[in-house]
Amino acid sequence: MLPQEIIRHKRDGQRLPAFEIAAFIEGVTSGAVTDGQVAAFAMAVFFNGMNRDEAVAMTLAMRDSGDVLDWSDLPGPVTDKHSTGGVGDNVSLMLAPIVAACGAYVPMISGRGLGHTGGTLDKMDAIPGYASQPDIALFRKAVLETGCAIIGQTADLAPADRRLYGIRDVTGTVESVPLITASILSKKLAAGLQSLVLDVKVGNGAFMEKSRDATALANSLVEVASGAGLKVSALITGMSEPLASAAGNAVEVRNAVDFLTGRLRDRRLEDVTLALAAEMLQSAGLVSSNQDGMRRATETLASGRAAATFARMVAVLGGPTDFVERPEKYLPRAATEVAVKAPADGFVTGIATRDIGLAVVGLGGGRTRPDDKVDPAVGITRLLPIGAEVQAGDALALIHARSPLDAEAAAATVLSAYAIGGSKPPADKTVIRRILPRG
């Protein structure tokens, strides 16, 4: 069938049968469908949506556009997590080793920063020598020997998504629930998972700021993943303040190492990490209840086994063998450090989280163009959480910058992102809701 006929059907609000979707996606992969046709198709889906069957067909067609990894030689369940992204969200760096140390295998294929949000892949690249884009043999070796490997997407996994995403990015068609769903899940299915936990963020630092939108995306992801044969659940978690007290690349890696070794555990980060770990262990069939999962994850973290797993993963993938013992020896440090001072006595009553992420991008820790090089050393640490009591002149945060000028600009952004008020605000829930497939 001609691509323009398939586009017409969706333009006119028809439901597309699986074979039409498969034919269109095949054309996206082979190049038989032009950029203009891909854009028109994406816009037709943006306006007319897709039902669950169409979204499942689209997800499976995109999964099958490239290699699908096979982990059937592994002696345990294969599982992963996907987060819709936020600021100070370094959960993956702790979650993968915690869950792996509990007996699951976590081949975690992660992405680069997008807009104001950080990317796990950029964070791992801050570790000298770490092969964040290894060949498949080294990826398999790391997963088999350590239980987890955090790496970037290879060109062979879901290539249709790569092309479609690039076109959506420049045609105003990113924010479509079925297109986001198929994009995320096709890559996860191509990674050969048996189960998946989704962390859908909501709040002023998330892509979905409103609860209604986050819930719609979580429902779509859970229903389509389940329809495509994955065991799946989702947590909706709060992103109305940075999750860790650090935002940036090397600084978030340092924060993760400190979390694993017990030197520093930011409370909200710990809540989300353990809740996701419990969820992953349960959907992987390693524990019989969520409570049991929480207990196993907490014990594994406290025993130091998760820290040891992270250390082995870093070493197998080419990083320093003593990275966890001496992260300060290896992580790059920015030339300038400047404290952001509280302007008045009171409590932190709110944080414009997106602006904190944009301040990191402004420092050079994220990208404004796809081919920008990220500076791993810059970022922000000691970010005070909502509810913290301060006196005028206390540090709200510490900026790590390449130059005093950059530091000044970031400090001004962070200062205006913090609201200070006279009374302590009630604590927000970190884990807001759990979503399971219907039926």
CB of 409 to ligand URA, least distance (A): 28
Does residue number 401 form part of the binding site for ligand URA (CB under 6 A)?
no
Angle at 124 between CA 119 and CA 128, to 5 degrees: 145
Binding residue (CB under 6 A) for ligand URA from 184, 251, 311, 414 = 184
CB of 332: closest distance to ligand URA in angstroms? 27
Largest CA distance in the chain: 68
Residue 160 binds to ligand URA (criterion: CB under 6 A): no
User: Residue 174 Cβ, how far from ligand URA at the closest point, in Å?
Assistant: 6
User: What is the identity of the amino acid at 27?
Assistant: G
C-alpha to C-alpha distance for 73 and 143, rounded to whole angstroms: 11
Does residue number 237 form part of the binding site for ligand URA (CB under 6 A)? no
In sequence order, the 6+-apart residues with CB closer than 8 A to the CB of 157 are 66, 67, 69, 109, 187, 190, 191
CA distance linking residue 234 with residue 214, whole number of Å: 11
Residue 233 in the binding site for ligand URA (CB under 6 A): no
Q: How crowded is residue 374: how many other Cβ atoms within 10 Å of its Cβ? A: 23
- Choose, by CB under 6 A, the member of 21, 50, 98, 180 that binds ligand URA: 180
Task: Choose one: 179-187, 228-236, 314-322, 393-401; the region binding ligand URA (CB under 6 A).
Answer: 179-187
Return the residues of window 316-345 that contact ligand URA according to CB under 6 A. none
In angstroms, rounded to a whole number, what is the distance separating the alpha carbons of residues 420 and 128? 39
Q: Per rule CB under 6 A, is residue 234 in the interface with ligand URA? A: no
Closest CB to ligand URA among residues 18, 174 = 174
Q: Tell me: does residue 55 bind ligand URA (CB under 6 A).
A: no
89 is catalytic: no
Does residue 401 sit in helix, strand or coil?
A: strand
Token digits of residue 95: 């979650």
Say which DSSP state 318 is in: T
Q: Would you count residue 183 as binding ligand URA (CB under 6 A)?
A: yes
CA atoms of 140 and 323, how far apart (whole Å):
22
Decide if 120 is catalytic.
yes
Residue 202 binds ligand URA, judged by CB under 6 A: no
The answer to whether 35 touches 69, Cβ cutoff 8 Å, is no
Nearer to ligand URA by Cβ, of 138 and 174: the residue is 174
**Both tokens of residue 320?**
């320093």
Q: Which stretch binds ligand URA (CB under 6 A): 172-180, 215-223, 321-329, 418-426?
A: 172-180
Pair type for strands 418-421 and 346-351: antiparallel
Residues annotated as catalytic (active site), given as ranges = 80-83, 120, 168, 183, 187-188
Query: Which residues are near ligand URA by CB under 6 A?
Result: 165, 174, 179-180, 183-184
